[in-house]
């Protein structure tokens, strides 16, 4: 039965109330972001021991801050709020975020949060793939102790993260790339609003001579138990003039870095083939953004 052990819905007004609620229930307290994935966790039998839902929406963890160092998104910022940011709407280096936000339905965008999409550690979500391609880092807090980790460290397995008991994601930092950069994201889905069969996010940075100074290629959507950096593809792109042949070879190389799964929506072989196709298209899209000087 859904949340059959639930005893308390705690709306934490400040850190003291948050800590007190977590202390009362320990591992059986579940942090609530937008709540849009609670049904997904329940369906997978992951909520059977939950005794308290802890709403963190009043802790002042929302908002966004843009600076020369990049973009900082608060954990309770919703997808809709992120989508409205001027930088997300226009900056070439944030193109992957802009693209990923075109997929979820409006109702979900109005509630789903940055912290929730990351903590869920669901390899089928779209925003985390884009955030990893942008070298995202997450700030974590637990009873006043604060630490920061790279996004890749957060994901430890299918629906598993490295958060310690009672630890909260408080923010995500997306560092400003040091060279001229653009990013892009693409998703393969069976029907609109479906979870990804495969998704791909890339970021390309060019040096003054037009060669690739740095590349990020990230694949998600069932290409493994977590979203994955395709390091072989990145290495192949680095230092190269990005012509059609280099993009094709990089996309082919990306296949070596993933272990696609088979499920009711796609075979492993189909996912592998589509991962290469979507890597190539995402690379072309990012390069097109760079060539246009930003927007697209």
Ligand X SMILES: Cc1cc2nc3c(=O)[nH]c(=O)nc-3n(C[C@H](O)[C@H](O)[C@H](O)COP(=O)(O)OP(=O)(O)OC[C@H]3O[C@@H](n4cnc5c(N)ncnc54)[C@H](O)[C@@H]3O)c2cc1C
* Interface with ligand X (CB under 6 A): 30-38, 41, 56, 75, 103-105, 108, 111-113, 115-117, 119-120, 125-127, 163, 168-169, 193
Q: Which is nearer to ligand X, 93 or 124 (CB)?
A: 124
- What is the helix (H) or strand (E) element at residue 248, kind and residue range? helix 244-254
The Cα–Cα gap between 178 and 69 comes to 9
88 contact partners, CB below 8 Å, separation of at least 6: 71, 82, 94, 97, 98, 101
Tell the smallest beta-carbon distance from residue 68 to ligand X (Å). 26
**How are the residues of the chain apportioned to helix, strand and coil, as percentages rounded to the nearest 5?**
35, 25, 40
Query: Which CB sits closer to ligand X, 123 or 255?
Result: 123
- Measured in degrees and rounded to the nearest 5, phi and psi for residue 109 equal -60, -30
* Two structure tokens written together for 153: 């460290």
Rank residues 40 and 175 by Cβ distance to ligand X and give the closer one.
40
Q: How far is the CB of 269 from ligand X (least distance, A)?
A: 24
Task: Please give the C-alpha separations between residue 64 and each of 20, 211, 284, in angstroms, as whole numbers.
Answer: 27, 33, 29
| Cβ 28 to ligand X shortest distance, Å | 12
Cβ neighbours of 129 (radius 10 Å): 29
- In angstroms, give the least distance from the CB of 14 to ligand X: 16
Only one residue has tokens 């609530």, namely 32
What token pair was written down for 68?
């020369």
Compute the least distance from the CB of residue 168 to ligand X, in Å: 4
Q: How far apart are CB 75 and ligand X at their closest, in Å?
A: 4
Provide, rounded to whole angstroms, the least separation between the CB of residue 30 and ligand X: 5
15 or 246: CB nearest ligand X? 15
Closest to ligand X by CB, 148 vs 207, is 148
Task: State the Cα torsion 74-78-83-88 to the nearest 10°.
Answer: 10
C-beta closer to ligand X: residue 138 or 258: 138
C-beta of 26 vs 105, nearer to ligand X = 105
Residue with nearest beta carbon to ligand X: 116
DSSP states of 38-103: HHHHHHTT--TT--EEEE-TTSS---EEEETTEEEEETT-BHHHHHH-HHHHH-GGGHHHHHHTTS
Tokens of 28: 């059986």
Torsion of CA 139, 141, 146, 150, to 10 degrees: -30
Min dist CB 4 to ligand X, Å, is: 17
Q: Which is nearer to ligand X, 140 or 247 (CB)?
A: 140
């Amino acid at each position: 039965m859904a949340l059959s052990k639930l005893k308390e819905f705690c709306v934490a007004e400040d850190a003291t109330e948050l800590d007190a609620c977590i202390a009362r229930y320990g591992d059986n307290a579940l942090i609530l972001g937008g709540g849009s994935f609670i049904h997904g966790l329940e369906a997978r039998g992951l909520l059977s021991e939950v005794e308290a839902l802890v709403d963190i929406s009043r802790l002042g963890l929302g908002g966004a801050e843009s600076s020369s160092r990049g973009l900082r998104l608060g954990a309770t910022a919703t997808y809709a709020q992120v989508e409205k940011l001027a930088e997300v709407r226009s900056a070439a280096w944030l193109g992957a975020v802009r693209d990923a936000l075109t997929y979820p339905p409006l109702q979900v965008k109005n509630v789903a949060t940055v912290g929730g999409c990351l903590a869920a550690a669901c390899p089928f979500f779209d925003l985390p793939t884009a955030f990893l391609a942008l070298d995202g880092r997450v700030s974590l807090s637990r009873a006043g102790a604060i630490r920061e980790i790279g996004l890749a460290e957060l994901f430890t397995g299918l629906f598993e993260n490295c958060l310690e008991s009672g630890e909260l994601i408080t923010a995500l930092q997306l560092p400003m790339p040091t060279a001229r950069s653009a990013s892009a994201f693409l998703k393969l889905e069976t029907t609109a609003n479906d979870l990804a069969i495969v998704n791909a996010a890339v970021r390309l940075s060019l040096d003054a001579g037009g060669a690739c100074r740095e590349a990020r290629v990230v694949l998600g959507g069932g290409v493994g138990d977590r979203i994955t950096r395709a390091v072989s593809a990145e290495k192949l792109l680095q230092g190269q003039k990005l012509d059609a042949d280099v993009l094709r070879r990089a996309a082919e190389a990306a296949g070596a870095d993933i272990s696609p799964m088979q499920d009711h929506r796609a075979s492993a072989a189909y996912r592998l083939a589509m991962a290469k196709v979507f890597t190539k298209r995402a690379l072309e899209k990012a390069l097109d953004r760079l060539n246009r000087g930003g927007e697209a």
